[in-house]
């Protein structure tokens, strides 16, 4: 019996000994071998980290007006656990569907899936975000959702998570320049991408100890790393000139429905880009609605085309620089034979008989330029000058996607056609840089968009772009001569092909262009690229402007090309020169009595024909709306002799106002709206001040009566604090 007890004691003691040894070894393993790793895992379980996103820097125009900025947004999240507990599925879906544009069969199905979402173990989830429809929504929608949450008693079942997103307050204005940032905060195109390193800033972080429900422990430690906000990028763009460009393109697009269009405005003395637009366009605020990649493509830098007659400027400049352009020397127009081809003038080869080379330039004679470029310069010198002007290589503008074009030619016929812009491929930005070299005295310069990068804390400039001369292409004297010749292309109102862009009081130098499109190995009969490129004032250029329209709806009649590009050029140039306060000169067209030192006076139009009124207003540079389809002017606003302000419009009525639909005046100034109401003989109640934001019909009488609301244009206080840019560093 005693022996059994001893054996039992030994067994039990041995087991306890083994258990103790195992526990000791486990403790050693936990504390020594894997201690650091387990500590890290423990810290993860009781601590929480949150990334603090920096505020992305703003993109500004040259006058510190905001083009892109960060702002608050919200993401909708639902709690399926609470929704199921309180049986709120129908209320939640019914409330969110219309506000998030999900009131479709697919949208409702998706929303129902979200509000009934379960984990793998079958339990309902406690938070599900409504993506993409409810992701980073605007504050206006978020406010409405909050109201519905309160009224329907859905607090906790539906929540709004605070976020930030990129806003473009001017919508599609300058979209191809700015590019966009997606909802993942990734820069995709434009300046947003090129200067992303400066704009994006550096994220911060907050770490704190939490309980099992995720709430911060009162006695727990918290560590904060402050984020560094992104720098601001101040551009060379002038928002007002950009507006002129896009407004003119919109009018042209409504009339001629082209496949595409390109416009660039620049300062030829620095090559700062003042405005740039491309059609088709897009709104970066809703970039996902523009699935076609063509909408995102900036054709000014990423597409090449045959320039046609605007390229004759290069041949002319080379000939003048070489001393072989004799303006009064004559030649036989019509056609000319070169090995492999017969070159004809654009009037079906009829020509204009024996004419001077200056007249050949004014009439845009192909034969004149073949004789200058092919016979006079020769292949090698012509190619050399083309390269000097920057064709065949990129301009190095600070945008991604620029291509270099193609200026290769080998055979005699190719050399001959290259003299007038056929058979070579160029980009719009190359054309602008080249003609700017003539406008500024012969210097080819690098175009650029970034003017300054500004520190968001100190408002000090940390980086800036200086004008950069690449090379002297032609002599200063030759450049002046070319400017004089190009001015005559516009000023000669009888034979000048550029006469449609003439603006009384301003000396404009420029050249038209009409090129057949090369499609499937041959030139299409009714597909054209029409253009006008020029600068003003001719003797002291302040702005160079290129307008290129791809395949407008003008049929096979190339003579209509000037109806497309010239009005666009004229409208943008006229408004821009007045906006820049460029003084007018007496150009002797019979309307100089309407000009004085402080502006333009509205002429007396009553009783004159509609065509005469349009021609007169175009020549003196007054922006106007033509109302009605009559043949004579019945009424005008403002009255004759009124001095027109820079942004003021004239209104020309050619039909009785009764029965005419009142136009949409949102976005117009109060002065403009008052004049529109007067012209339409409508009783208008004006509420507020600034610019029209809404209009609606009021009253029950037969006479038309409107209520129009106005609001001043101003930034929110938070936005002003965020931008924090000084108008003047000396203030």
* DSSP annotation string for 161-215: EEEEEEE-TTTTTTHHHH--B-TTS-B-SHHHHHTHHHHS-B-EEEEEEB-TTSP
State residue 589's pLDDT score. 42
SS3 75: strand
Q: Which two tokens stand for residue 305?
A: 């085309």
What would the mean pLDDT of 106-119 be, rounded to a whole number? Answer: 93
Distance CA 107, CA 111 (A): 6
Average pLDDT over residues 136-150: 92
Nearest to 619 by CA among 508, 523, 726, 539: 508
- Averaged confidence pLDDT in the chain: 86
pLDDT of residue 37: 62
* Dihedral, 427, 429, 432, 436 alpha carbons, nearest 10: -130
Q: What is the pTM of this model?
A: 0.74
pLDDT tens per residue, range 330-386: 999 999 999 999 999 999 899 999 999 999 999 999 999 999 999 999 999 999 999
- Answer yes or no: is pLDDT of 685 > 70: yes
Does the annotation count 558 as an active-site position?
A: no
Identify the residue whose tokens are 């050619």: 654
pLDDT at 729 over 60: no
SS percent in the chain: helix, strand, coil, step 5: 35, 25, 40
pLDDT of 397 above 90? yes
Task: Please state, in angstroms and rounded to a whole number, the distance separating the CA atoms of residues 396 and 247.
Answer: 28
**Per-residue pLDDT reduced to its tens digit, 22-47:** 777 777 666 665 656 655 555 554 45
**435, 544 in Cβ contact below 8 A?**
yes
pLDDT of the residue at 40? 57
Q: Are 551 and 529 in contact (CB under 8 A)?
A: yes
Going by pLDDT thresholds of 50, 70 and 90, the confidence category of residue 446 is very high
pLDDT-derived band at 699, boundaries 50, 70, 90 = low
pLDDT of residue 590: 37
Reported as a pLDDT band with limits 50, 70 and 90, residue 220 is: low
> What burial letters (b/e) apply to 299-330, b meaning 16+ CB within 10 Å?
bbbbbbbbbbbbbbbbbbbbbbbeebbeeeee
Per-residue model confidence (pLDDT) at position 34? 64
How does pLDDT run across 41-92, given as a tens digit for each residue?
555 544 556 778 899 999 999 999 999 999 889 999 999 999 999 999 999 9
* pLDDT value for 726: 38
Name the residue with higher pLDDT: 687 or 623.
687
Highest mean pLDDT among 293-302, 462-471, 503-512 belongs to: 462-471
Percent of the chain with pLDDT strictly greater than 90: 60
Residue bearing the bigger pLDDT, 249 or 600: 249
Q: Of 309, 483, 546, 669, which residue is the catalytic one?
A: 309
pLDDT value at residue 725: 38
The pLDDT score that the predictor gives to residue 364 is: 95
More confident residue, 639 or 212: 639
Q: Which of 440-444, 568-572, 717-721 has the lowest mean pLDDT?
A: 717-721
Pairing of the two strands 624-627 and 650-653: parallel
Task: Name the pLDDT band for 112 (thresholds 50, 70, 90).
Answer: very high
CA distance 268 to 18: 91
Q: Which residues pair with 500 in a beta bridge?
A: none
Using 50, 70 and 90 to split pLDDT, how confident is the model at 217? low
């Amino acid at each position: 019996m005693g022996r059994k007890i001893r054996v039992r004691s030994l067994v039990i003691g041995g087991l306890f000994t083994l258990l103790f040894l195992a526990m000791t070894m486990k403790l050693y393993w936990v504390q020594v071998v894997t201690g650091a790793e387990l500590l890290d895992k423990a810290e993860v379980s009781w601590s929480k980290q949150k990334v603090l996103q920096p505020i992305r820097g703003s993109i500004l125009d040259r006058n510190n007006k905001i083009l892109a900025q960060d702002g608050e947004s919200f993401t909708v999240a639902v709690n399926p656990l609470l929704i199921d507990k309180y049986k709120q599925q129908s209320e939640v879906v019914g409330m969110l569907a219309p506000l998030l544009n999900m009131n479709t069969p697919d949208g409702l199905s998706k929303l129902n899936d979200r509000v009934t979402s379960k984990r793998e173990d079958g339990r309902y989830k406690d938070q599900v975000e409504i993506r993409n429809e409810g992701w980073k929504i605007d504050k206006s929608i978020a406010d409405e959702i909050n109201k519905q949450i309160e009224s329907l008693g859905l607090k906790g079942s539906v929540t709004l998570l605070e976020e930030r997103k990129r806003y473009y307050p001017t919508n599609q204005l300058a979209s191809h320049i700015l590019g966009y940032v997606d909802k993942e905060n990734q820069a995709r195109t434009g300046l947003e991408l090129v200067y992303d390193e400066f704009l994006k800033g550096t994220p911060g972080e907050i770490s704190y100890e939490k309980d099992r429900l995720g709430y911060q422990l009162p006695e727990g430690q918290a560590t904060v790393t402050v984020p560094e906000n992104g720098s601001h990028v101040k551009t060379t763009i002038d928002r007002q000139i950009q507006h002129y460009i896009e407004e003119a393109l919109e009018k042209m697009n409504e009339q001629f429905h082209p496949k595409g269009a390109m416009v660039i405005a620049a300062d030829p003395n620095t090559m700062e880009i003042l405005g740039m637009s491309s059609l088709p366009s897009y709104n970066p605020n809703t970039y996902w609605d523009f699935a076609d990649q063509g909408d995102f493509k900036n054709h000014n830098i990423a597409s090449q085309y045959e320039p046609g007659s605007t390229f004759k400027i290069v041949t002319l400049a080379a000939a003048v620089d070489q001393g072989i352009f004799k303006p009064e020397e004559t030649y036989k127009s019509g056609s000319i034979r070169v090995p492999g081809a017969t070159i004809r003038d654009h009037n079906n080869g009829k020509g204009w008989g024996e004419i001077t080379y200056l007249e050949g330039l004014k009439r845009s004679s192909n034969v004149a330029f073949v004789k200058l470029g092919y016979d006079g310069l020769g292949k090698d010198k012509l190619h050399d000058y083309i390269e000097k002007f920057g064709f065949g290589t990129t301009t190095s503008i600070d945008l991604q996607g620029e291509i270099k074009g193609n200026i290769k030619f080998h055979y005699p016929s190719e050399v001959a056609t290259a003299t007038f812009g056929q058979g070579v491929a160029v980009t719009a930005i190359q054309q602008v840089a080249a003609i700017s070299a003539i406008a500024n005295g012969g210097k080819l310069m690098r175009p650029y968009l970034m003017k300054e990068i500004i520190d968001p804390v100190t408002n000090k400039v940390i980086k800036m772009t200086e004008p950069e001369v690449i090379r002297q292409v032609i002599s200063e004297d030759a450049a002046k001569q070319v400017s004089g010749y190009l001015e005559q292309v516009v000023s000669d109102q009888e034979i000048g092909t550029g006469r449609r862009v003439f603006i009384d009081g301003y000396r404009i130098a420029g050249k038209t262009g009409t090129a057949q499109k090369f499609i499937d190995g041959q030139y299409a009969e009714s597909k054209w690229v029409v253009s006008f490129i020029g600068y003003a004032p001719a003797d002291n250029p302040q702005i160079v402007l290129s307008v290129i329209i791809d395949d407008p709806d003008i049929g096979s009649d190339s003579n209509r090309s000037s109806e497309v590009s010239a009005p666009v050029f004229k409208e943008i140039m006229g408004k821009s020169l007045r906006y820049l306060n460029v003084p007018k000169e007496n150009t002797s067209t019979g309307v100089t009595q309407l000009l004085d030192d402080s502006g333009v006076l509205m002429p007396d139009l009553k009783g004159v024909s509609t065509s005469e009124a349009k021609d007169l207003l175009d020549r003196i540079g007054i922006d106007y709306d033509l109302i009605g389809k009559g043949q004579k002017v019945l009424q005008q606003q403002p009255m004759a002799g009124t001095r027109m302000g820079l942004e003021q419009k004239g209104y020309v009525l050619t039909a009785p106002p009764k029965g005419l639909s009142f136009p949409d005046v949102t976005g117009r100034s109060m002065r403009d709206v008052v004049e529109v109401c007067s012209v339409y003989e409508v009783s208008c109640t004006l509420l507020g001040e600034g610019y029209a934001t809404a209009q609606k019909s009021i009253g029950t009488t037969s006479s038309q009566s409107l209520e129009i609301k106005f609001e001043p244009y101003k930034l929110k206080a938070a936005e002003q604090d965020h931008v924090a840019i000084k108008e003047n560093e000396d203030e």
